[in-house]
Amino acid sequence: MCPNLVLEQVQQIQLTPEVRIGVQIMAMSVLDLRALMMGAAMENPFLRIKDPPHDQHAPLEEFESLAARTPDKESSLEVELLTQLMMDLRSPLDRAIARMLMNGIDERGYLRMDTDIVADMLGTHPNRVETLLKKLQTECTPAGIGARSLQECLLAQLISANDDDDLTRSIIENHLPALAEGRIQQIASALKTTPAMVRRSMDKIRRLDPHPAARFDRSSPTALPEAVVVRHEGTWAVKVRTGLLPNVMLDRGYADALDDPVIDVHAAARMRELLREAQGFIRAVDLRKAAVISVTNAVVQHQSGFFSDGIAALKPLAMADVAQMTGLSESTVSRVANSITLDTPKGIISLRYFFHSGVGGSLTHDDASSLAVKQAIQELVDTEDKRHPLSDAKLVTLLAERGMDVSRRTVNKYRTALGILSTTKRKIYE
């Protein structure tokens, strides 16, 4: 057979070096950014780092006292995953990929980041990112973490358990909606098996975890808070702790040296390239500082009731809302929300914690936050008479008395998400 040449048009996202470093910096925590700034100053002679005045500088040791105020939690998901992965990952690039993937994992354990973008940002092939992602999904605990869909999450858990049940895999891949609706006979006919075998697989699927990160409290990550929420003249305000980061500036001595006629042509070209990189780096840091101030102020103003009255006062808030308030893109808001933690009267809390849909997915700001409704359901069930547990219909009535207008279907959904059993299974018989 003779080889053939085939021309094919392929669309790829290509980011310039300046855009790539800008995206990377926007998504960094303050500690990671500080380390990056120090490293960049050592590699680029046009960058000069200067620590802020002593009275503005907040020493890193102060985090020890802040951490003591962090609410108790089972474990940090990031710490758990890093502990498991970093023993196997020897390559600095693989470690960078792993960290970036973890930054894109939401509170349920699903990946909300395009692997092609990760590959482009780190200058590697998408296949390498996919390989690391599969390792994260199937070799780490909890299994299924980092999945991009329910099917991928459940299949990863089967692979992790070395379960080669082809019938269960086929149901997960092709028949989950029908399974959820109880169409057992239809699935059995489609897969040429018996209803009893489908029910056996259904029982196995029910034992899998659709939200592998749910048992981890991600509202209080182990990170240095970059901003403090304070009470000022009767309102809640944000004070960004600028002293955590050094000042980065252009070294004018090196920049002026470019005009020296005795400099070799090739050396001058390389120096101009370094100068452009330094200028781009400084712009990226300045843009991040401005974005942090804008986004944190917008979020705190919108969720001011939380700092006085707690979870019950949380309002629905979407990335698009904050983007509209600040004039930033949704992707920029998302990166800032994922990388920033606040020191608040309620403890150290991730900025991402304040983004919630309304009841039933609504974003009407008069609605109750989904998190507030879940907390109310948990409180009602915790205090119920276990001999006569509250039905979903009764919970709807009691929530309405608290000003939370929710449907029975929504109560059932939130109760299930909280791991609260049905009425019959909660009842205690004497």
Note down pLDDT in tens along the chain; length 430 residues.
556 666 666 665 566 777 888 888 888 888 888 888 888 888 888 888 887 654 444 444 444 344 444 443 434 677 778 778 777 787 888 888 888 888 778 778 888 777 877 776 677 888 899 999 999 999 988 899 999 999 999 999 999 989 888 999 999 999 988 888 888 999 999 999 999 999 999 989 988 988 888 766 554 444 578 899 998 888 899 998 888 888 998 887 776 766 666 667 777 788 888 888 999 999 999 999 999 999 999 999 999 988 888 777 888 888 999 999 999 999 899 999 988 888 888 777 889 888 876 664 444 444 567 777 887 888 888 888 888 888 989 998 988 888 788 888 888 888 887 778 888 888 876 5
Token output for 100: 């970036």
- Cβ-proximal residues to 360 (8 Å cutoff; 6+ apart), any chain: 406, 407, 410
- The reported pTM is 0.54
pLDDT score at 421: 84
Query: How far is residue 123's CA from residue 318's CA, in Å, rounded to a whole number?
Result: 31
Q: Positive or negative CA dihedral for 406, 313, 351, 353?
A: negative
Task: Report residue 43: phi and psi, to 5°.
Answer: -90, -25
Q: 288, 362, 356: which is closest to 322 by C-alpha?
A: 356
What pLDDT sits at residue 73?
A: 40
Cα torsion through 126, 151, 76, 101, rounded to 10: 10
- What is the reported pLDDT for 194? 93
d(C-alpha 158, C-alpha 207), whole Å = 11
Distances (CA, A) of 382 to 307, 318, 385, 421, 428: 24, 30, 9, 12, 14
26, two tokens: 């926007």
Structural domains of the chain ordered from first start: 72-218 (no CATH), 359-426 (1.10.10.60)
By the 8 A CB rule, do 184 and 174 touch? no
Identify the pLDDT of residue 259. 67
What is the C-alpha to C-alpha distance for residues 306 and 351, in angstroms, rounded to an integer?
A: 13
DSSP 419: T
How far apart are the C-alpha atoms of 62 and 211, rounded to whole Å? 34
Check: CB of residue 315 under 8 Å from CB of residue 302: yes
* Angle, helix 126-139 to helix 92-103, in steps of 10 degrees: 70
Spatial distance between the Cα atoms of 81 and 142, rounded to a whole number of angstroms: 9
Give one DSSP letter per residue of 353-415, joined into a string. GG---BGGG---TTSPBHHHHHHHHHHHHHTS-TTSPPPHHHHHHHHHHTT----HHHHHHHH
For residues 299 and 424, give the distance between their C-alpha atoms in angstroms, rounded to a whole number: 41
